[in-house]
Structure 1
Amino acid sequence: MPLVTSKELFSRAYDGNFAIGAFNVNNMEIIQGIVDAAKEEKAPLILQVSAGARKYANPTYLKKLVEAAVEDSGLPIVLHLDHGESYDICKQCIDDGFTSVMIDASHHPFEENIAITKKVVEYAHSKGVVVEAELGRLAGIEDDVNVSEKDAAYTNPEQAAEFVKKTGVDSLAIAIGTSHGAYKFKGEPQLDFERLQKIAKLMPGYPLVLHGASTVLPEFVELCNKFGGDIPGAQGVPEEMLRKAASLGVCKINIDTDLRLALTAAIRKSLSENPGNFDPRKYLGEGRTAIKEMVRHKIVNVLGCNNFL
């Protein structure tokens, strides 16, 4: 099976009130852990590459690793550009074989965001590639994306409907209270479901996207801190909130921080308990297993996309 687009995946997710997991990838072990979990749960995948991943691993290496995952698993897998910062980088990834790209022009004024997004959509659609855009801004830090709380703005429902109509974009990332990174809430977690419902009502059947949606699983935070880490007070989006979002038109849920925490916790534990070990296959292997089990949990208990095939 070749790489696929997200079009059919989102259609089934919307009708079935579940979401597809979009997992950020940076190296072989992360990809293998995610794919092994999806194979066991018969789930589709969106494997996404951020600006930081492109700098770290080289886009050619990542694309070949994802192609290997497709060959090994036979799963429907989307190769997605996460937070493409310009038309040029989106075009480059489309030409390189990505099946989905995100143009993030949300930091521009509304009309400029429309113009940039429309240009990407026109080129992508001519190549059979789908496009995600963003309206509203999420607070937090993820790779080269750094937005202060002051600059974060929730998505305006009427603007969202206008934006989609004018650009022809295939899916839209909205801001309803999530944020990038491990510190998503200072107090009680809250998402603006009333806003989400209004957006969904104005665009029935349209796939929405939730960024900054890691749950920041406490067991991995505790494990990291137990073995020398320093990430106190980390807090993510409660699982029940993500399940509710998936029932209200959110078809793609992005997960990155939880992957980092699972990998780092397992490696910290392994190196602390086995100080004489200098074989990266052993501690990276334990990290890969931790990612696999975490992703399986997400697929079954949060996304609900298991037994998709």
Structure 2
Amino acid sequence: MPLTGPREMFARAYREGHAVGAFNVNNMEIIQGIMQAGAEERAPLILQVSAGARKYAGQNYIIKLIEAALLDTDLPVVLHLDHGQDFDICKSCIDGGFTSVMIDGSHLSYEENIAVTRRVVEYAHDKGVWVEAELGQLAGVEDEVSAEHSVYTDPDQAVEFVQRTGCDSLAIAIGTSHGAYKFTGDAKLDFARLETITKMLPDYPLVLHGASSVPQEFVEMANAYGGKVGGARGVPEDLLRKAATFGVCKINIDTDIRLAMTATIRKHFIENPGDFDPRAYLKPAREAVKNMVQHKIRNVLGCSNKI
């Protein structure tokens, strides 16, 4: 099954009120776990590659791993660049075979963001590649993306931004944030803002970044086996499920995968101190990734049996 773009899966998600999971990948085991979950749930998948993943594994390695995964599946799979920070990175991924790219100009001025997004759109659309952009800014840290404070998306600007750039989907800021430490008080998303944007951009796919839920059982597991991730809190899953009914078609999930994998490996080493074969601890870690992604697909995204 060849790679696909997200157009059809987003159109169905918008129409039926679910979201498609965009899962960050860094190595073979993560890709395998995500693909196994998608196969069992019969769900569409977006495998996304951050700047950190490109540096860690290498863009060609990631592409070839995903090509190998596609040999054994009939699922629709999108290969997406997450947080492309300039035109050159987006161009490299487009030329390398990605079917979707994100140009993140949120760190720029409004007019500069429009200019770089428009440039990527013109190049990508000539090659049939989808473009996601971002307006507003999420607090937190993810790989090379870092911001101290959130800047919520202005609905009027969102409409103008989409019209002037021609971007295919828009990542908005309504209260989510990158990383494992998202909230200190009660978790809240600005659904009034989301509803306004949805009404002003009808049938237009919106995106939520920083949407991991940081399941406390894995925080506790990691800490019980030597970790120090106390105080980590994410976005409650019921809020994410609600967002999918307001035009959010793509929800990004990264931290939860990292947490499940790391907690499982920590547990394995404490319980099996003599193990030194990487396959011994990466096998249960891969299973933890699969179980986490399967849970998200079924209970949070609502996209089981949506292919």
Give the TM-score range, shorter chain: over 0.9
1:87 Cα offset (Å):
0.4
Hey, what's the Cα distance between the residues in 1 that align with 2:255 and 2:113?
A: 27
State the percentage of identical aligned residues. Answer: 67
Counterpart in the other structure of 2:53: 53
Letter matched to residue 80 of structure 1? H
SS of the aligned residue for 2:152 comes to coil
SS of the aligned residue for 1:128 comes to coil
Counterpart in the other structure of 1:124: 124
1:274 Cα offset (Å):
0.2
Hey, what's the Cα distance between the residues in 1 that align with 2:277 and 2:176?
A: 38
- TM-score normalized by the length of structure 1: 0.99
For residue 243 of structure 1, the aligned residue among 241, 245, 250 is 241
Map 1:24-39 → 2, pairs under 5 A: 24-39=24-39
Hey, what's the Cα distance between the residues in 1 that align with 2:72 and 2:279?
A: 20
2:136 aligned with 1:136:
yes
Hey, what's the Cα distance between the residues in 2 that align with 1:69 and 1:239?
A: 28
Q: Deviations over 1:213-269 (max 9, x none)?
A: 001011111100000000001100001100110000000000000000010011000
Letter matched to residue 244 of structure 1? K
For residue 218 of structure 2, the aligned residue among 217, 220, 225 is 220
Q: Is the 8 A contact 1:70 1:76 kept in 2?
A: no
Counterpart in the other structure of 2:198: 200
Counterpart in the other structure of 2:260: 262
For residue 188 of structure 1, the aligned residue among 178, 186, 189 is 186
Counterpart in the other structure of 1:163: 161
Letter matched to residue 118 of structure 1? R
Structure 1: 5+ residue stretches without partners: none
1:198 Cα offset (Å):
0.3
Counterpart in the other structure of 2:14: 14
Q: CA RMSD in A?
A: 0.5
Counterpart in the other structure of 1:110: 110
Letter matched to residue 113 of structure 2? N
Counterpart in the other structure of 1:290: 288
1:73 Cα offset (Å):
1.6
Counterpart in the other structure of 1:80: 80
1:289 Cα offset (Å):
0.3
Hey, what's the Cα distance between the residues in 1 that align with 2:14 and 2:280?
A: 40
Letter matched to residue 50 of structure 1? S
SS of the aligned residue for 2:72 comes to helix
1:68 Cα offset (Å):
1.3
Query: Alignment length, in residue pairs?
Result: 307
Hey, what's the Cα distance between the residues in 1 that align with 2:159 and 2:66?
A: 34
